[in-house]
Amino acid sequence: LESMRNLAERYEGYGGSIRRVMEVRNCVPGIHGVVADLISTTKKYETAIETALGGSIQNIVTDSEETAKRLIEHLKKNRYGRATFLPLSSVRGRVLSAQERQVLRMDGCVGLASELVQYDEKFRPVVENLLGRTVVARDLDAGIAIMRAGRHAFRLVTLEGDVMHSGGSMTGGSVNARSTSILSRQREIDEHRAAAKSLSEKLDALNKRVE
């Protein structure tokens, strides 16, 4: 649990520029956090959602363009690198049309990526901007049929992390095994915390028996 907490607090696995921005989070009002901090999903969908987000999982959500501008200037001044910001005041969601949503009823379709994650309602524009036009399928066979029916007008990811892009191109293959993904950290922290609490209660009960 301590190891996972330290990873989360130090933003391990994130780009150096992202860590630099998050270091000033308490000094600069208007920083809501990185995308990975603001959404959650079940273990079953983590690979698909993280694949769908790609590098966007490290984008930083701010309240306004002014806050984003201030942080960009901070990065420039100190030569900390580059980062992408998503100001709530300007980001707009992109969703499937009513006609396109018909594919969500097809066999093997798991659902729309933006509807498979949990988040605070105020972040809906960000979630729909990043995931509103991404369909999640059970596997590639189902994905091919879904994309054909949708005329390759949107993006699709499978539960294993394969991607079918709008326009027809495909990306897939083996995925490097990782002990933990960025998106799964909070879930694992919660699981470890619950396990630690349970073990602590058992230990207290055993100590009472010993006494």
Average pLDDT over residues 118-145: 97
Please tell me the pTM assigned to this model.
0.83
105: pLDDT strictly greater than 90: yes
Write out the H or E segment, with its range, that includes residue 32: strand 31-34
Average pLDDT over residues 113-124: 97
122: pLDDT strictly greater than 90: yes
Average pLDDT over residues 93-116: 96
Query: Token digits for 14?
Result: 């994130």
Query: Token digits for 83?
Result: 């980062």
Q: How far is CA 23 from CA 11, 19, 30, 74, in A?
A: 10, 6, 14, 12
10: pLDDT strictly greater than 90: no
pLDDT value of residue 7: 84
pLDDT value of residue 185: 87
Instruction: Pick the range with the lowest mean pLDDT from 29-43, 101-115, 118-132, 162-176.
Output: 162-176
20: pLDDT strictly greater than 80: yes
d(CA 12, CA 185): 11
Average pLDDT over residues 93-113: 96
Instruction: Pick the range with the lowest mean pLDDT from 124-128, 178-182, 190-194.
Output: 178-182
Average pLDDT over residues 173-200: 82
Residue of 38, 41, 42 whose CA lies nearest to 91:
38
Find the angle CA(168)-CA(144)-CA(93) to the nearest 5 degrees. Answer: 65
Higher pLDDT, 143 or 8: 143
113: pLDDT strictly greater than 80: yes
pLDDT value of residue 49: 96
Q: What is the pLDDT of residues 139-180, one digit of tens each?
A: 999 999 999 999 999 999 999 999 999 989 999 987 665 545
Average pLDDT over residues 42-53: 95
**How many beta carbons lie within 10 A of that of residue 42, not counting itself?**
11
Q: Please, which pLDDT band fits residue 181 given cuts at 50, 70 and 90? A: confident
Contacts of 174-181 with C-beta under 8 Å, sequence gap 24+, read 175/47, 180/4, 180/7, 181/46, 181/47, 181/50
pLDDT value of residue 158: 97
DSSP 168: S
Q: Which position has the token pair 């105020």?
A: 122
Instruction: State the burial class of residue 148 (Cβ atoms within 10 Å of its Cβ: 0-12, 13-18, 19+).
Output: exposed
d(CA 208, CA 36): 42
199: pLDDT strictly greater than 80: yes
Query: Token digits for 135?
Result: 């369909």
Residues 6+ apart with CB under 8 A from 104: 96, 111, 112, 135
